[in-house]
Chain A
Amino acid sequence: MKIALIAMSGVRVKTQTLAELGVTLPQFVNRGKVVASLPSLGLLTVAALTPPDVEVEYFEVDDLPPENRALIKYDLVGISSFTARINDAYRLADRYRAIGVPVVLGGLHVTLMPQEAQAHADAVVVNGAEGAWPKLVEDFKKGQMKPFYVGARKGVFEPGLYAKPRFELLKGRPYNRITVQTSRGCPLNCEFCAASIRITDSFQQKPVNLVIDEIETALKITQHPFFELSDDNTFVNKKWSKEFLTAVTPLNISWFTETDISIADDEELLNLLAKSGCKQVLIGFESPISHALDGMNPNNWKTCRQPGYVDAINKIQSRGITVNGCFILGLDSDTPETFHVIKEFIETSKLLECQVTVMTPFPGTPLYNRMRAEGSLLKDEYWDRCTLFDVNFTPKHMSVAQLEEGMMCLFKELYNEKQFLMRKRHYMEIAKEILS
């Protein structure tokens, strides 16, 4: 038996003027390119959960042969995709099914919209693959595959459910970044979040020894890889974090992850982080305006933390770790003046990198449900516009056009060569203080 696993990543901005602007601002597309070039850790995990007597091949969608003849050699096809490319995934699934190859769909979007996905699949996997995929394959072998399989929402890193991703499937491919997951979920529970929090009941932490084993395995198949932890919030548990940082330091790797500003509260953790090879942490500040953050988290965590943003950035960056500060445009209280406030904050805080996106109501999120109830969504179905740059709702205190224009002006001010150079120069000055 032979299974093809097909990853679909990368997004294309739909708004024409913004797409054209992106081409002229290289720094604007850098992070997007990085994300688009990451391998699918989810499918490598699916491969690991496949019984050993079944042959598995991993593909990026762009590497697929164009002829149907080449596709027909598989007994089963598994496809995973983001919301922005889910319609491409559905078209690919329809193509396989038309030539008689059964298709399984999975991933975050499919988990949140399983009924929609079912119209394009022989089976749909909801949540992660742990607890679902092995049963699906066994049922398929017996000719008894069911339309829905529900993966585990807890205990996914415990024996019986956990499987080490099959990094060896990436061997010989041109990936320069490798993803490793250390946790699923995030206690901050932001209203807009469409990440792994939607497939877990609570925060799931992978034991340090398993994470280290995965990194060591991945190191065997690539030269000089840069590791990207595919977590939503890596350092939630400070005790685990220190244990992990101590264990990862001797591996001498360079890596990146996402976290929150509470890491700045812990000097010991910051010092360990600096020694560990961590080059950058991505932190969702969302807005430099305190009241704009009201209601974003159930306990207003970000509102409470906003006054400490600049101090936290300085503490982290002074260790030579760059902070990639994320900001969201189009929050409920945002006005046409907000763009300038964000620009001023990014400049005065001396953030070494920034990522500004537009608020995006991903289907199935609390934000989507609220906006739908409020009648502020521009269309009922806009999945290919869930790019983080296309506007899909009517903002409360400005027009759609004002939001789009304000965003484009801000991008021009933030992502030009002069700003890029200023940030790099600032990094070099910090590095000079640290280097002996």
Chain B
Amino acid sequence: MGENSTEQKLRQILSEYLKQDLTDVPGNEDLIDYLGLDSLSGLNLLALVEKKFQVRFDDEILWSLRSIEKLCDGISLAQKQMSDL
């Protein structure tokens, strides 16, 4: 799956879950601040992304995955790690 399609799928998943159109949200926007999420809602988002993309993010980078761009990078990294196994 290419990076663009990952981003497209991610935006669609998050938009559906949050019931809010995220199409035009800049890729580097901090989603926690932008959406006004509390810490548990932030964890819910991470859990949702892990589930939908069937990946597991590295614990070390978990807290840095706060924007669409960072989430896409995290997904790519996790997918690569899985394929390397």
Give the interface of A toward B (CB within 8 A): 223-224, 226, 254, 279-280, 320, 322, 421, 424-425, 427-429, 431-432, 435
Do the beta carbons of B36 and A435 come within 8 Å of each other? Answer: no
Question: In angstroms, how far is the closest chain A Cβ from the Cβ of B14?
Answer: 12
> Can you list 29 A-B contacts (CB < 8 A)?
A223-B36, A224-B35, A224-B36, A254-B40, A254-B41, A279-B38, A279-B40, A279-B41, A280-B40, A320-B44, A421-B62, A424-B43, A424-B62, A425-B59, A427-B40, A427-B47, A428-B43, A428-B46, A428-B50, A429-B47, A431-B43, A431-B44, A431-B48, A432-B48, A432-B51, A435-B17, A435-B44, A435-B47, A435-B48
Residues of B51-81 contacting chain A, CB below 8 A: 51, 59, 62
Question: In angstroms, how far is the closest chain B Cβ from the Cβ of A355?
Answer: 16
Nearest B-chain residue to A280, judged by Cβ = B40
Chain A residues whose C-beta falls within 8 Å of the C-beta of B50 in the assembled complex? 428, 432
Chain A residues whose C-beta falls within 8 Å of the C-beta of B47 in the assembled complex? 427-429, 431-432, 435
- How long is the Cα–Cα vector from A279 to B59 in the complex, in angstroms? 22
Question: In angstroms, how far is the closest chain B Cβ from the Cβ of A232?
Answer: 23
Interface size on B, residues (CB 8 A): 16
Residues of B11-47 contacting chain A, CB below 8 A: 17, 35-38, 40-41, 43-44, 46-47
Chain A residues whose C-beta falls within 8 Å of the C-beta of B38 in the assembled complex? 226, 254, 279
Which 6 residue pairs spanning A and B have beta carbons closest together? A224-B36, A431-B47, A428-B47, A432-B51, A279-B40, A432-B47
Chain A residues whose C-beta falls within 8 Å of the C-beta of B51 in the assembled complex? 432, 435
Q: A280-B40, A431-B44 are in contact. List 9 more A-B contacts (CB 8 A).
A: A224-B37, A254-B38, A425-B59, A428-B46, A429-B47, A432-B48, A432-B51, A435-B47, A435-B51
- How long is the Cα–Cα vector from A311 to B73 in the complex, in angstroms? 39
Main DSSP-derived SS at the B contact region: helix
Question: In angstroms, how far is the closest chain B Cβ from the Cβ of A223?
Answer: 6
Most buried by A among B17, B44, B50: B44
Nearest A-chain residue to B37, judged by Cβ = A224
- How long is the Cα–Cα vector from A428 to B62 in the complex, in angstroms? 11
Question: In angstroms, how far is the closest chain B Cβ from the Cβ of A250?
Answer: 14
- How long is the Cα–Cα vector from A44 to B59 in the complex, in angstroms? 42
Nearest B-chain residue to A353, judged by Cβ = B40
Most buried by A among B43, B48, B50: B43
Nearest B-chain residue to A429, judged by Cβ = B47
Question: In angstroms, how far is the closest chain A Cβ from the Cβ of B32?
Answer: 10
Do the beta carbons of A427 and B43 come within 8 Å of each other? Answer: yes
Chain A residues whose C-beta falls within 8 Å of the C-beta of B36 in the assembled complex? 223-224
Chain A residues whose C-beta falls within 8 Å of the C-beta of B37 in the assembled complex? 224
Do the beta carbons of B59 and A322 come within 8 Å of each other? Answer: no
Chain A residues whose C-beta falls within 8 Å of the C-beta of B43 in the assembled complex? 424, 427-428, 431
Chain B residues whose C-beta falls within 8 Å of the C-beta of A322 in the assembled complex? 40
Chain B residues whose C-beta falls within 8 Å of the C-beta of A431 in the assembled complex? 43-44, 47-48
- How long is the Cα–Cα vector from A234 to B40 in the complex, in angstroms? 21
- How long is the Cα–Cα vector from A267 to B48 in the complex, in angstroms? 25
Chain A residues whose C-beta falls within 8 Å of the C-beta of B48 in the assembled complex? 431-432, 435
- How long is the Cα–Cα vector from A163 to B50 in the complex, in angstroms? 47
Chain B residues whose C-beta falls within 8 Å of the C-beta of A280 in the assembled complex? 40
Chain B residues whose C-beta falls within 8 Å of the C-beta of A226 in the assembled complex? 38
Chain B residues whose C-beta falls within 8 Å of the C-beta of A429 in the assembled complex? 47
